[in-house]
Amino acid sequence: MRIFVTAAGGTEKALKEELRELGYRRLQGQRGGVWLSGNREVAARICLHSRVAVRVLAELGRFACPDEDALYRGVQGLEWARWLTPERSLAVTSVARSSGLTHTQYIAQKTKDAIVDAQRVAHGRRSSVDRNDPDVAVFVHLEKNEAGVFLDASGRSLHLRGWRTEATEAPLKETLAAAMVRLGGWDRETPLFDPMCGSGTLVIEADLIARRVPPHPRAHRFGFERWADYDAEAAAAIDALREEAHAGARASGPRCAGADIDPEAVDIARRNAERAGAQAHFSEASLGALRLEGPHHVLSNPPYGQRLEADAAFWEALRGAMRRNPECTFSLLLPEEGAPRDLGERRAVRAHPLFNGRIRCRLVTWSSMKT
Ligand SMILES: C[S@@+](CC[C@H](N)C(=O)[O-])C[C@H]1O[C@@H](n2cnc3c(N)ncnc32)[C@H](O)[C@@H]1O
C-alpha cells in the first residue's frame, strides 16, 4: 500500500527527517507531504509517533479521471467491503487541481454515490453519511485528470493532541510548533527558552520531543481503528505498538521554559503543560528583561500579523535581547513582510520558509556568538 503523510506548507523537510528517525527509508517528499510504502502497522506507527504529520492517508487506488463517469467507475472498482460495511458511517472530501472536474463538492458527492451504490448491490444496504465524525473518511485527490482515492488512517487531524484546551491569541498549531523545534536545529540537549510563549505550544512540544513522549494520550483512537478490517488480531498488534511508543518515553530531559509579558498567558501555558504531562516551566517576564544564564536555544514566534502587532519599539527590544544573550542561539518565526531584515550584529545561519496559517514566514536562526 502507498501512504501519503500530509504536512503543513514548509514543514515537509521536518516530516521527512522525523520519518527517517522512525526508521523509514525510500521517502519521497513533495509539496504538502511525504510518500512511502507500507502496511497498516506503518500507518499506525506514524500516527502514534509523528509530531509533524497532519494526516496519514492510505491510497486505495489511482486511475485516469477525465470526467464524472470515469470517477464513478473508478471508485466502484475499488475494494470497499474490506474497509467499509453498511453499519459504518462515511464521509468524502476532495481537492481538485488542473482537471476537467473542478467542483470539489460534486466530486465528493459523486464518489459517495459510487461507494453506496456498490454497497447496495453487494449487501442490499448502504452506509450513512456523517460529516463530523465518520467511521471511514475517504479523500479524493484529483490532479491533471488523475484521481487518487485514499482512506484517512489518522481520523481527526493529528495536530489535535488533546491538551491545548485553552489558548492565547494567535497560537501556533502543535504540528507547526513541532516542525519549528526540528527546523530551528535544536540539539535536544541545550536548555530551550521561549520568551514570548503565549499558550506554551513551542516549549511543551520541545519537552515532549526531547523526552520522546508520544503526541497523543494512550486513550486516543485513530481513524484506522474504526475500519471494517480492524479485528481483534489487528487491535492486539496496534496495542503492542502503542505500548512500545509510550514505554520509550524518558523521565527527564533538558530544561524547557518560557515567559510571557501577559500573566494570563503564563497561567494558560502552565495548565496546558500540566494536561500534556510536559516538564515545562513558565514565568511572567518581558522580553526587555531577557537575560539567560549560560547557553540556551531561544525559539519563539513573536507577535505579528493581523491579530497581534509588533512596532519599532518591540523590534528594538528583540535586538536588545539578542545583544544581551550572546551565548544563545535564536530561532524566530518572522513574517516575510513587516519584520526588519537586520536584528543585530549576528548573521543568520539558516532561514526556512514556513506558513503560519496564511501568513508567509521564515524561521530564521542566528547561532550563538560564542562557539
Ligand atoms: C504570537 S504569540 C505566541 C503564541 C505562542 N507561540 C502559542 O503557540 O500560543 C506572541 C506572544 O508574545 C507575547 N508578548 C508580546 N510582547 C511581549 C514582550 N515584550 N515580552 C514578552 N512577551 C511578549 C504576547 O503576550 C503573546 O502571548
pLDDT tens, 3-53? 999 999 999 999 999 999 999 999 999 999 999 999 999 999 999 999 999
pLDDT, position 256: 98
- pLDDT at position 308 over 70: no
Over the stretch 49-90, which tens digit does the pLDDT of each residue have?
A: 999 999 999 999 999 999 999 999 999 999 999 999 999 999
Q: What is the 201 CA–ligand 1 centroid distance (Å)? A: 11
Question: Of 169, 181, 261, 271, which is best to mutate to test ligand 1, by the most ligand atoms within 8 angstroms of its C-beta?
Answer: 261
Domains of the chain: 2-152 (3.30.2130.30), 174-213+250-366 (3.40.50.150)
Question: 196 CB less than 6 Å from ligand 1?
Answer: yes
Question: Of 164, 176, 260, which is best to mutate to test ligand 1, by the most ligand atoms within 8 angstroms of its C-beta?
Answer: 260
Q: Tell me how far apart the alpha carbons of residues 242 and 49 are, in angstroms, rounded to a whole number.
A: 9
Measured CA to CA in angstroms, residue 38 lies from 147, 244, 341 at distances of: 20, 19, 44
Of 255, 268, 257, 256, the C-alpha closest to 170 is 268
Question: 261 CB less than 6 Å from ligand 1?
Answer: yes
Question: 286 CB less than 6 Å from ligand 1?
Answer: yes
Residue indicated by cell numbers 500500500: 1
pLDDT, position 46: 98
Q: Tell me how far apart the alpha carbons of residues 329 and 262 are, in angstroms, rounded to a whole number.
A: 24
